[in-house]
A and B are shown apart, each in its own frame.
Chain A
């Protein structure tokens, strides 16, 4: 379940076609992104309309569609400021796409630092797409690719290119191959849904006709664990997504808030069969390995550090719900949050350094981040309804959360610093508990 099979690799190649440009990136290290606050200054990026290389109607429509699609996808990351095409000096009817042709002054003069050009030729259901990313100031190509595939698969092609862009700028492939699971109250009953990272194509994952909550992705994105009342009480379901089979943990009491251990077929969850709500470590088949918390009172909502050695969780052991961190190697537990009287819903950043969580004060719930060392507490939402259930993107750059600022709770996304808060999608009813999957190409 952790491998890419040969069949999968062949499929991807058929879809995407041959890569022709393989120029290396820079000899010198040039930092495009300021790590300390990458979203403070977005990189002005110009994406003019693509060239219609096949000179037919389909090609002309695609030239616009694809340029817009690349713009939206890069904009989603929060790193790029996509420039208005009205400001462009270059002739839109005669796009220059290669290093040799481009007059980089046209771009630097209007303030753009990055430039993306494209050329598309379409024939029947297939297209060939060339995409290039340039550093406008250095007048150099950063990365270029040619893709061949079905027009209907254009999203995948765009995502592959954007992943290349992210990789060359940040060393990280970004979030374009990830998905977001969430609970949506369809006809008043919460079921679990899954959409693409940008909210595209939401589809229903559970059809229990009963309350289903707390979706959790395994590291290889093959398994989903969740709580459902379909059996008459809150039981834990561990389901293989493709094969649609798995295990149920159904004991006396509740079984909630599953959290997979990174890179292992194990998960933590809160069970109360002993008469007290404690966190246990289970195998992916639902067998209890050991108990992880030892304290009277509520212990819920585990979340793992990326190295799988530490677990943050919520406990009422000191009288109010607060967040604690347990080192599962030394077994020591320390308290993380000291401000406020109701801190819950912790989520450990895949970068390992921060934990996002929600605080309830004065009847309002807002999202904060705090360093794993307990320092650098930052507020991310304010004066915009209740904001709950933060969940980091797989590269640690974005946070998905649930907000009722427009009335009923919906899923929103913001950067790790709280900027660019926007709604991800809207289905009828309330959407809650978003969980971002790993960034894996799963077919």
Chain B
């Protein structure tokens, strides 16, 4: 009677042990010889263990896939975030480009000297050019309609060169800048009054 009790106790120890050995693939192959000793009595338990192992494997696969899924989600999210950021940057760039081209530099009558306000304007131009390192620009020199055609083309030329020289002094590579003079030929305001004339005496900046 006592002998049977000891056998049952041993089995009680062996079966959980088998369960543990069966759960790791490597260990299963190693553990097999020991498992064969108790093969007969252990058969129903092995089936059970296999089933459990299968369940565990399935569980782990699912977990892994869920991890991957969430990784992918994170990746998609990151990509989307990056794309959004890129678009924002492009919009910022376009806005900066528009601002750059929309702000002209103004001059007094018959003068190519830079006025105090000019320095601020040119600072902003320089900032842009430092930021957008591959940008090349054209500086257009213009005059108001008063005065005579040829003299005004020469004056426009001086205005454009004046602005360019200032930017060169600020460290912009002169190779990035081209000047052109239109004299009085391309006014921005065709009216014949002081306001229009003031608007036309300008250097206009264009990004190539």
Binding site for B on A (CB under 8 A): 190, 211, 213-214, 229, 232-234, 253-254, 256-257, 270, 272, 275, 277, 298, 300-301, 314, 320-321, 342, 344-345, 358, 360, 363, 365, 388-389, 432-433
Contact = CB atoms under 8 A, between A and B. Distances in A.
A383 B163 CA distance: 38
Nearest to B148: A344
B21 interface: no
Given A254-B153, A298-B151, A342-B147, 13 more contacts: A213-B150, A214-B149, A253-B157, A256-B154, A275-B161, A300-B151, A300-B154, A320-B110, A321-B151, A344-B150, A345-B150, A360-B148, A365-B148
Interface in B160-175: 161
A388 B179 contact: no
A254 B158 contact: no
B185 interface: yes
B181 interface: yes
Contact of B150 (A214, A272, A320): A214
B149 A314 contact: no
Contacts of B157: 253-254, 272, 277
Contacts of B154: 254, 256, 270, 272, 277, 298, 300
B148 A277 contact: no
Contacts of A190: 185
Contacts of B124: none
A360 B179 contact: no
A375 B35 CA distance: 132
Interface string B126-160: 00000000000000000000111111011101100
11 contacts: A214-B149, A232-B180, A234-B153, A254-B157, A254-B181, A272-B161, A298-B151, A300-B154, A345-B148, A360-B146, A388-B149
Contact of B153 (A256, A342, A365, A388): A256
A256 B157 CA distance: 11
B158 A433 contact: no
Given A253-B179, A254-B181, A277-B157, A300 B150 contact: yes
Given A233-B180, A272-B157, A257 B150 contact: yes
Contacts of B180: 232-234
Q: Which secondary structure characterizes the binding site on chain A?
A: strand
Contacts of B158: 277, 298
Contacts of B149: 213-214, 388-389, 432-433
A440 B151 CA distance: 31
A365 B151 CA distance: 14
Contacts of B181: 234, 254
Contacts of B179: 253
Contacts of B110: 320-321, 342
Contacts of A234: 153, 180-181
A365 B158 CA distance: 23
Taking residues whose C-beta sits less than 8 angstroms from the other chain, chain B's interface range is: 10 to 19
A277 B180 CA distance: 13
The 6 A-B pairs at the shortest CB distance, nearest first, are namely A298-B154, A277-B154, A344-B148, A257-B150, A233-B180, A254-B157
A53 to B, nearest CB: 52
Nearest to B180: A233
Interface centre among A232, A256, A270, A275, by most B CB within 10 Å? A256
B35 to A, nearest CB: 89
B148 A389 contact: yes
Contacts of B153: 234, 254, 256
A270 B146 CA distance: 21
A298 B146 contact: no
Given A190-B185, A272-B157, A275-B161, A256 B148 contact: no
A108 to B, nearest CB: 49
Contacts of A358: 148
A112 to B, nearest CB: 43
A211 B185 contact: yes
A272 B150 CA distance: 13
Given A253-B157, A277-B157, A301 B185 contact: no
Nearest to A345: B148
Nearest to A358: B148
B161 A301 contact: no
A327 B158 CA distance: 27
Nearest to A213: B149
A388 B184 CA distance: 14
Interface string B80-91: 000000000000
B111 to A, nearest CB: 11
B151 A344 contact: yes
Interface centre among A211, A214, A300 (most CB of B within 10 A): A300
Interface string B178-190: 0111100100000
Nearest to A257: B150
A358 B150 CA distance: 12
Contacts of B147: 342, 344, 360
Contacts of B182: 211, 229
Contacts of A344: 147-148, 150-151
A363 B147 CA distance: 9
A432 B149 CA distance: 9
A254 B178 CA distance: 12
A344 B146 CA distance: 12
Interface in B65-115: 110
Contact of A363 (B146, B148, B150, B151): B146
A2 B158 CA distance: 39
A320 B110 CA distance: 9
Contacts of A298: 151, 154-155, 158
